[in-house]
Amino acid sequence: MAANYPKIGIRPTIDGRRRGVRESLEAQTMGMAQRVAKFLEETLFYPDGSPVQCIIADSTIGGVKEAAAAAQKFKGENVGVSITVTPCWCYGSETMDMDATIPHAVWGFNGTERPGAVYLAAVLSAYAQKGIPAFGIYGEDVQDSGSEEIPADVQSKLLQFAKSAMAVAVMKGKSYLSMGSVSMGIAGSIVNEQFFQDYLGMRNEYIDMSEYVRRFEEDIYDQEEFVKALSWVKENCRIGADNNPQHLQISDKEKELQWETCVKMTLIARDLMVGNPKLAELGFEEEANGHNALVGGFQGQRQWTDHFPNGDFMETILNSSFDWNGRRAPYIVATENDSLNGVTMLFNYLLTNTAQIFADVRTYWSPAAVERVTGYKLEGEAASGLLHLINSGSAALDGTGEQKMDGKPAIKPFWEITDEEVKACMAQTQFRPASQEYFRGGGFSTDYLTKGGMPVTMARLNLVKGLGPVLQLVEGFTVDLPDAVHKTLDERTDPTWPTTWFAPKLTGEGAFQSVYDVMNNWGANHGAISYGHIGADLITLASMLRIPVSMHNVEEARIFRPRVWSLFGTADLESADYRACQTFGPLY
């Protein structure tokens, strides 16, 4: 998929009065825009690792003609995010950006010489009155008029807004590729086109899983890359023990053939999503285009997996930050075609540029239950209990926690990962012959244990009839258990699958009174797990898309939503969020 990333448009607005006022502010106003652009370009990155690009209006904006000129320039430059900056009073509705389909923020300089804060309040009022939610950025401390500093609190809000707004812009016009249909009656794999179109600005693409068979039989994949990939697999993928009963175990020869199929599946899924110019050279020009998919899902069970190898290896490798071609951006692929968890993985990914773990929210282990079964008393982050996150499928290899940041386990953007860390991730992973009772067609399941000590956020998007999409999220930490304790608990489920032990942060209120309450309030069987405590960014992103957040444990001071949300109430923020989202409706 060709990278034509959207840009951030910076709009320096100014007092339009000539003969002294405007002239005295030109340098200060344009300088403010230039500093914001420089800050964002040095701090934010696109998914391919290149710096985010900012476009500044050709002149300061003192009235509607200059506002229109800026809008025209931005349209030609593929601007998908709008940030207005000013140190002074400006004419609110005459200078504002009126594009209702992109996210907006306004930074009003906190200074006493000119009333930037007055303009901020006035233009945010205009945005509210016109039904275009905008984010207000106002520094806590007064600055001198000549200050060229962007205060830390302003930087924080600029980044929180820009990261989320860029996620909105990157999704627009892309596709969700449904590879297959509904898996085992899982509601999330009933792809809801109206949601994708109205809330995300995305289109939906579909292929039947028989397309894989056609590409197998007609050799519609890069033969040279297949040889390279298979060689890499044989050299780097450690084969684990076969847990199947003797009568269900298959021969080494059959396993070799299944590996070939798994590698071909991986190449084909990627080509279906983003295309491959090599296919055009082979005479398959239509197939070379792909489906412009930013995210996809593979049905697998059961129509595919009752006969062919499962999708575990394919999903694991695609979701990871490296393969036989080296380090590269992950391809976001949802197990069981759970489109709602796929979208949640996409949200997390676009906010962090890091690979995601897809898992079942499978078991709540209370301290009493762990002690009864193992004799071990949970402690530290896990003292109040654990969630066992485990599922056959797309747990990215980055999820081993073998990458390091400041000496601690982490998941990093692909361009920061070292060759040694890639090797460490592979060394801590086994590929186990799949359970034949689940997967009659065989395949290889990914098996690793996530290192403890990582801050992570688990999130999930749900659809509710009559309400629409709702997001829930929980911040917490991965946890290490003694080997014998992990083994005992893990072997009570399927030990051939990857495990993440997760301890949510508790607040003592609502769904976060206990770990049991977190599990009991989770809206579906799946969750998307991202490195870092990114709950505040997810809340900001959800507000841009008009998706209410039903459950979170993010401190109030970190929450940043459009200023108009406060006009729906300041005492009960959850209620205000629901009513604001309902009032403004889906972004598109």
pLDDT tens by residue, 322-379: 999 999 999 999 999 999 999 999 999 999 999 999 999 999 999 999 999 999 999 9
pLDDT level of residue 113 (50, 70, 90 thresholds): confident
Unique residue bearing structure tokens 């800050």 = 39
Segments of 311-426 assigned E as strands: 322-323, 326-327, 332-335, 357-365, 386-390, 403-405, 408-410
Closest to 587 measured CA to CA, from 83, 167, 78, 76: 167
**How many angstroms separate the Cα of 514 from the Cα of each of 278, 301, 383, 506?**
53, 34, 11, 6
Q: What is the CA radius of gyration of the chain?
A: 25
| pLDDT, mean of residues 269-283 | 97
Question: Amino acid identity of 527?
Answer: G
CA–centroid distance for 399 within its chain: 15
- What is the rounded CA–CA span in Å between residue 116 and residue 131? 22
pLDDT level of residue 117 (50, 70, 90 thresholds): confident
Looking from the CA of 357 toward its CB, the CA atoms found within 13 Å total 32
Which of 271, 315, 323, 360 does the annotation list as catalytic?
Answer: 360
DSSP string across 138-202: --SS-B-TT-----HHHHHHHHHHHHHHHHHHHHTT-EEEEESS--TT-GGGS--HHHIIIII--
Closest to 399 measured CA to CA, from 422, 425, 381: 425
Catalytic (active site) residue 306: no
- What is the rounded CA–CA span in Å between residue 338 and residue 115? 50
Is the distance from CB of 175 to CB of 358 less than 8 angstroms?
A: no
pLDDT level of residue 145 (50, 70, 90 thresholds): confident
Residue 556 φ then ψ, to 5°: -55, -35
pLDDT tens digits, 486-543: 999 999 999 999 999 999 999 999 999 999 999 999 999 999 999 999 999 999 999 9
Is the distance from CB of 79 to CB of 7 less than 8 angstroms?
A: yes
| pLDDT, mean of residues 460-485 | 97
Is the distance from CB of 549 to CB of 527 less than 8 angstroms?
A: no
Angle at 186 between CA 180 and CA 191, to 5 degrees: 55
List, in sequence order, every residue forming a beta bridge with 107; answer none if it has no partner: 85, 137
Please give the pLDDT value at position 111: 86
Is the distance from CB of 60 to CB of 85 less than 8 angstroms?
A: no
Please give the pLDDT value at position 1: 45
| pLDDT, mean of residues 64-77 | 97
- Tokens describing residue 578: 């629901």
pLDDT for residue 2 is more than 90: no
Q: Average model confidence (pLDDT) for the chain?
A: 96
Catalytic (active site) residue 336: yes
Which of 205, 336, 475, 494 does the annotation list as catalytic?
Answer: 336
Sign, CA dihedral 293-294-299-305, equals positive
Is the distance from CB of 80 to CB of 36 less than 8 angstroms?
A: no
